[in-house]
Chains A and B, each alone.
Chain A
Amino acid sequence: MMDTLGSTSVKARRSTACTLTEPLWIKGLLIGLAVLFLAVFLILPLVVVFTEAFRKGTEVYFASITEPDAAAAIRLTLLTAGIAIPLNFVFGLAAAWAVSKFDFAGKSFLVTLIDLPFSVSPVISGLIYVLLFGLQGWLGPWLAAHDFKIIFAVPGIVLATIFVTFPFVARELIPLMQTQGSEEEVAARVLGASGWQTFWRVTLPNVKWALLYGVILCNARAMGEFGAVSVVSGHIRGLTNTIPLHVEILYNEYNSAGAFAMASLLTILTLVTLVLKSLIDWKSRVH
């Protein structure tokens, strides 16, 4: 009912607007410019990634993504994302819940803190970890004495990734949870639901699509992160190289087929992310 009403009014507006629009050639010019821009800056690079990756044939392509160092990089990337995403899922949800459903002192400070990773250059955040945990850093001597290795090792990469991807889930949830308010939760409590029941049956289902959306963006960033990870990793082949770092190394060695093959993996990730993103958009609009 609402939909039909909406579309008729849009149609009515469009027909009156027709007399007010630009001449055909201006329309054509503007549309053409937009298409040209998209083609040069978005579609062409996409095509180049795959043509370069397959330039030397499919055997070379599969060989370069299955050779031991590449496989190690893929494994490390998956491991990092596998640790960072569940943690940020929990952190983000808890932070968004606290910020949007409760009033407490220092709330705006917390919100600013959540946004910090977005406003700081990733290289700098990586550098801070080096200054903290590196051999010459604040905690370095203590860590070295207890045989903990964080910088130039997997824990550093995971920490840097968690930091950089921290805001995605929380940022996605806070505005939604704020508009939803906490009235439904209060209603659930008055009806006799416990705190956990309220969370699982009311709060979580109401934000599930936004949560999933946040997780997908978080994942894309976690797998693609270069700056922060580059500073803390030390670029040790087969040990501390993630996919983006491995792409850089291969490229610097003039192994462009290998570099583009690895890059194509990230590109596929991007495409999958985009598809999932639009699916979720569509799904959450249906609901």
Chain B
Amino acid sequence: MSIEVRNITKTFGNFVALKDVSFKVETGELVALLGPSGSGKTTLLRIIAGIDVPDEGNSAILIHDEDTSGTSFRERRVGFVFQHYALFRHMTIFENVAFGLRVRPRRLRPSEDVIHQKVLALLKLVQLDWLGDRYPSQLSGGQRQRVALARALAVEPSVLLLDEPFGSLDAQVRKELRRWLRRFHDELKITSVFVTHDQEEALEVADRVVLMNQSRIEQIGTPEEVYHHPANAFVYNFLGNVNLFHSRVEEGKVYLGDIPIDLPSEAAEDAKTALVFVRPHLLEIELQPNGSDHFRAKVEHIHAAGPVVRVDLITDWGDPVHVELSHERNRALGLKRDAEVFVIPKERKVFTDHSKPFGSERELP
């Protein structure tokens, strides 16, 4: 069952939550809606589910190529997993999962035996069959999340929508559950969309990622595509840590310190300024210049706890720079605070297209 979103616009008073958003999820895909908070991704998910209604216009949500406008929830058959689970607190886990079956009209309602078997099978699927007679308040966050999933699956949904499914879990459980979700999806092959603000989660779990920012879609692609070929400065900046330099364009070149960089071919000819991005692990530190392009910087701080060593530096023109090194490299260099070093960018990305705005915390000058 595919999902197609066509020209969705949604405003709340003066606030525009979604601006003419369109994309398609193919049958059996697991797609992540990724973006900073306030980018409209949860609103989009709720509109797909039919909980919220888009503004009037030529918009449409198609599930399996059928227009869903005006259909009831029962006809849509959407499984929705809420960020805070929204389990029925006065019902046992068993009754929570059975709810979708029990509220069916009498002629469509399965018999008590069938409901019982089905609920037990679902609870077994999410590995919680031993908790059927507990109440939601007696379960841990991860367990509640899986109950919410089982409850959504009980109505045999044609598509599954998950709103920040791991948002309120601690880091360890998050990692476990998202791998579990991926295996789970591979087993059931149900078309799924999940919302997240965690780029690591989206890149790890999803078949394709829809990157959203300020009510629009910035890029759609597989995790490899969006990571290695970001469409614009926002995407590059949002996917992983990055060093950002504001540079001036002079005679067709961008300057990172003294390093001249060619403008990208697609850059606007009249661009006056450009943004240069370098990921922290693509910067090298040398104690002596070795002939490669480099700029000078001073060591401010060294964080050695963790799998890599993170070094904070400050360039001689005053920009902060973050570099990631292996522990071996760090020992070989013998870095100290306030040491003067040479920084060599191995790979850099230049964007001159300033029309794409950033998240509010990174407003361009």
Q: Which of A's residues lie within 8 Å of B, judged by CB?
A: 183-184, 186-194, 197, 201-202, 205-206, 287
Q: Would you call B86 and A186 a contact (CB within 8 A)?
A: yes
For the complex of A and B, the 3 pairs showing the least CB-CB separation, nearest first, are A191-B100, A193-B103, A187-B86
The distance in angstroms between the C-alpha atoms of A190 and B51, with both chains bound, is 8
Query: In the bound complex, do residue B80 and residue A197 qualify as a contact, i.e. CB atoms below 8 Å apart?
Result: no
Alpha-carbon separation in the docked complex, A189 to B50 (Å): 10
* B74 interface contact, C-beta 8 A: yes
B residues 48-93 with Cβ under 8 Å of A? 49-51, 72-74, 78, 80, 82, 84, 86-91
Q: Which B residues are in CB contact (< 8 Å) with A206?
A: 89-90
Within 8 Å by CB of B99, from A186, A191, A287, lies: A191
Chain B residue with the shortest CB-CB distance to A183: B86
User: Main secondary structure on chain A at its contact with chain B?
Assistant: helix
Residue contacts A-B, CB under 8 angstroms, 26 given: A183-B82, A184-B87, A184-B88, A186-B51, A187-B82, A187-B87, A187-B88, A187-B151, A188-B88, A188-B99, A189-B51, A190-B49, A190-B50, A190-B51, A191-B73, A191-B154, A192-B72, A192-B73, A192-B74, A192-B100, A192-B103, A192-B104, A193-B99, A202-B88, A206-B89, A206-B90
Alpha-carbon gap, A125 to B74, bound state (A): 49
Residues of A within 8 A of B104 (CB): 192
Q: Which residues of A are found within 8 Å of B82, using beta-carbon distances?
A: 183, 186-187
Note all chain B residues with C-beta closer than 8 A to A192. 72-74, 100, 103-104, 155
| Whole-angstrom CA separation of A192 from B104 in the bound complex | 7
B15 to chain A, nearest CB (A): 15
**Complex: A192 Cα to B100 Cα, angstroms:** 6
Determine the distance from Cα of A186 to Cα of B88 in the docked complex, in whole angstroms: 11
Question: Does B89 lie within 8 Å of A197, measured CB to CB?
Answer: no
User: Out of B80, B88, B89, which one reaches A190, CB within 8 Å?
Assistant: B80
Using CB atoms, name the residue of chain A closest to B151.
A191
Assembly CA distance A184 to B151 (angstroms): 12
B84, B89, B91, B155: which contacts A191 (Cβ < 8 A)? B155
Measured CA separation A197–B80 after assembly (Å): 19
Nearest opposing residue in chain A for B83, CB measure: A183
Give chain A residues whose Cβ lies under 8 Å from the Cβ of B74. Answer: 192
Docked pose: A189 CA to B52 CA in angstroms: 12
